[in-house]
Amino acid sequence: MANEELEVKEGVVSDATGDLDAVKDEKKSRRLKLFWPRIITLVLAVIIWVFVMEINPPDAYKTYEDVPIKIMNFADAVVTPAEGSELTVDVTVIAKKNRINALESQQITLVIDTFGIEESGTYQLEILYVLPSGYRVHSLSQETITVNVELPSEDQ
């Protein structure tokens, strides 16, 4: 009787091990079935992301330091920066990420316009800017600049 019980118990253990192996094989088979769809989904996601980034890349910012300011319409006047001012400013530009590094500081035109100034003195003038297409000014380190204007005397 003891031997029969032992054989039965061994059979149960053997059956349980067989069931466990079957479950493991089923899980492994299910993982393999899901492996390629997951890989294909990942590859498609990367392709879509690259495509979207090429069509509409995000904006990026870049700061150009000490960009010179040109003076317009000064004829015979002598225009100098007032004490504490310089004829340069820092410019922060916005553009698409794939284009931002193509812009060089020489392509940024900053000007002050002295048109309409009829007498010598100190003036605070707005800084105007021109950029190539596809670029926008985000900020200037200063929006205006203080200059001294000396017009030639009428006696000369």
For 42-80, the pLDDT digits (tens) are: 999 999 988 887 787 888 999 999 999 998 877 777 888
* 65, 136: one domain: yes
* 73, 145: one domain: yes
Torsion angle of C-alpha atoms 36, 37, 40, 41, degrees rounded to 10: -150
* 23, 81: one domain: no
Confidence band for 18, pLDDT divided at 50, 70 and 90:
low
Residue 26 lies in a domain: yes
Residue 26, domain extent = 1-56
Residue 155 lies in a domain: no
* 65, 129: one domain: yes
Measured between alpha carbons, how far is 146 from 114 in angstroms, rounded to an integer?
Answer: 12
